[in-house]
Chains A and B, each alone.
Chain A
Amino acid sequence: MNGEPRRVTAYPVSRLLDVLREEMHLTGTKEGCGEGECGACAVLLNGAIVTSCLVPAIEAEGAEIRTIEGIADSAQLSAVQEAFLECGGAQCGMCTPGMVIAATALLERHPHPNDAEIRDGLAGNLCRCTGYQKIFAAVVRAYESCEAAAATKPGAQ
Chain B
Amino acid sequence: MRAYVPSYDLRVPKLLSEALALLAQEPGVWRPFAGGTDLMVLLEAGKLDHRKFFSLAKIDDLRGIEVANDSAVIGALTTYSEILKNPALREEFPLLCAAARETGSVATQNRGTLGGNIVNASPAADSPPALLVYDAEVELISQRRVHWVPYHGFHTGYKKMLISQEELLRSVRLPRRFQSWRQYYRKVGTRKAQAISKVCFAGTALMQRGAIGDVRIALGSVAPIPLRAVETEDALRGKSITPASITIAKEVLAREIVPIDDIRSTARYRLRVAQNLLEEFLTLLAK
Cross-chain contact of A14 among B5, B37, B45 (Cβ < 8 A):
B5
**Contact: B9 with A12, CB < 8 Å?**
yes
Say yes or no for B110: interface residue by CB 8 A criterion. yes
User: Which residues of A lie under 8 Å from residue B105 when comparing CB positions?
Assistant: 39, 51, 123-125
CB contacts under 8 Å to A, within B123-151, are none
Say yes or no for A99: interface residue by CB 8 A criterion. no
**Contact: A59 with B57, CB < 8 Å?**
yes
Q: Which of A50, A54, A124 has the most CB of B within 10 A?
A: A54
Measured CB to CB, the closest approach of chain B to A124, in angstroms, equals 2
Interface of B is mostly: mixed
Measured CB to CB, the closest approach of chain A to B80, in angstroms, equals 12
How far is B9's CA from A105's CA once the two chains are assembled, in angstroms?
32
Say yes or no for B211: interface residue by CB 8 A criterion. no
Cross-chain contact of B40 among A36, A39, A45 (Cβ < 8 A):
A36
Measured CB to CB, the closest approach of chain B to A26, in angstroms, equals 18
**Contact: A124 with B40, CB < 8 Å?**
no
User: Which residues of B lie under 8 Å from residue A42 when comparing CB positions?
Assistant: 107
How far is B5's CA from A11's CA once the two chains are assembled, in angstroms?
7
Measured CB to CB, the closest approach of chain B to A135, in angstroms, equals 14
How far is B43's CA from A34's CA once the two chains are assembled, in angstroms?
10
**Contact: B110 with A48, CB < 8 Å?**
yes
With known contacts A56-B55, A59-B57, A11–B37 Cβ distance under 8 A: no
User: Which residues of A lie under 8 Å from residue B10 when comparing CB positions?
Assistant: 12-13, 56, 58
With known contacts A55-B111, A123-B194, A13–B8 Cβ distance under 8 A: yes
Say yes or no for B36: interface residue by CB 8 A criterion. yes
**Contact: A13 with B43, CB < 8 Å?**
yes
How far is B43's CA from A14's CA once the two chains are assembled, in angstroms?
10
**Chain A interface residue count, Cβ-Cβ cutoff 8 angstroms:** 32
Say yes or no for A35: interface residue by CB 8 A criterion. yes
**Contact: A54 with B40, CB < 8 Å?**
yes
Measured CB to CB, the closest approach of chain B to A98, in angstroms, equals 9
How far is B81's CA from A23's CA once the two chains are assembled, in angstroms?
30
**Contact: B106 with A56, CB < 8 Å?**
no
Say yes or no for A65: interface residue by CB 8 A criterion. no
Cross-chain contact of B36 among A14, A54, A120 (Cβ < 8 A):
A54
- Extra pairs beyond A13-B40, A54-B111 (13, CB < 8 Å): A12-B11, A13-B8, A13-B53, A14-B5, A15-B40, A15-B44, A34-B44, A35-B41, A36-B104, A50-B111, A105-B106, A119-B193, A124-B104
User: Which residues of A does B touch, CB under 8 Å?
Assistant: 11-15, 34-37, 39, 42, 45, 48-51, 53-56, 58-59, 61, 102, 105-106, 119-121, 123-125
A-B contact pairs, 30 of them (CB 8 A): A11-B6, A12-B8, A12-B11, A13-B40, A15-B40, A15-B44, A34-B44, A36-B37, A36-B40, A36-B41, A36-B104, A48-B110, A51-B105, A51-B107, A51-B108, A53-B40, A54-B108, A56-B40, A58-B10, A58-B55, A59-B36, A102-B107, A120-B106, A123-B105, A123-B106, A123-B193, A124-B104, A124-B106, A124-B107, A124-B193
